Homo-oligomer: A and B are copies of this chain.
Amino acid sequence: MTGHEAKVRLKIQLNGTSIGPGKIMLLESVVREGSISSAARAMGMAYRRAWHLLNTLQEAFDQPVITTEMGGKEKGGATLTPLGKDLIDLYRAAEAKACKDSEPLLKMLAKHAP
């Protein structure tokens, strides 16, 4: 709509954990890549950092959002649980609406860009 690359970021802060575009992208990368190590590599992120982000995310939940298998190639496969998939879907739905809600603001910003 605007000629400017406006990005709308939605972040939820809950009991010390924050859930935003970075962690959601990482979960989506795990879905695509099938393991935490491949997901990290695909995002140009160190394995330890990816593991840490997922671990931090997990602390906000009473059930696993991701399950990992030992013994595969590299560092084992990883799969999202239904809860993990729900998290992606609900976040992306809220984000899409937030982008739409921000249109009047983005329009004003585009109009007054230097």
Q: List 6 A-B contacts (CB under 8 A).
A: A8-B11, A83-B112, A90-B104, A94-B101, A97-B98, A101-B101
Binary contact readout A1-21 vs B (1 if CB under 8 angstroms, 0 otherwise): 000111111111111000110
**Chain B contacts for A10, CB-based, 8 A:** 8-11, 98, 102
The docked-state distance in angstroms from the alpha carbon of A86 to that of B109 is: 10
- Which secondary structure dominates chain A's binding surface? mixed
Q: Does A66 count as interface, using CB distance less than 8 angstroms?
A: no
A62 interface neighbour in B6, B7, B105, B113, Cβ under 8 Å:
B113
Chain A positions within 8 Å of B, measured between CB atoms, are 4-15, 19-20, 59-63, 83, 86-87, 90-91, 93-94, 97-98, 101-102, 104-106, 108-109, 112-114
In the complex, besides A60-B114, A86-B108, 19 extra interface pairs with C-beta distance below 8 angstroms are: A5-B15, A6-B13, A6-B14, A8-B13, A9-B13, A9-B20, A10-B102, A15-B113, A60-B112, A61-B114, A62-B114, A63-B112, A87-B108, A90-B108, A93-B104, A93-B105, A94-B101, A94-B104, A97-B101
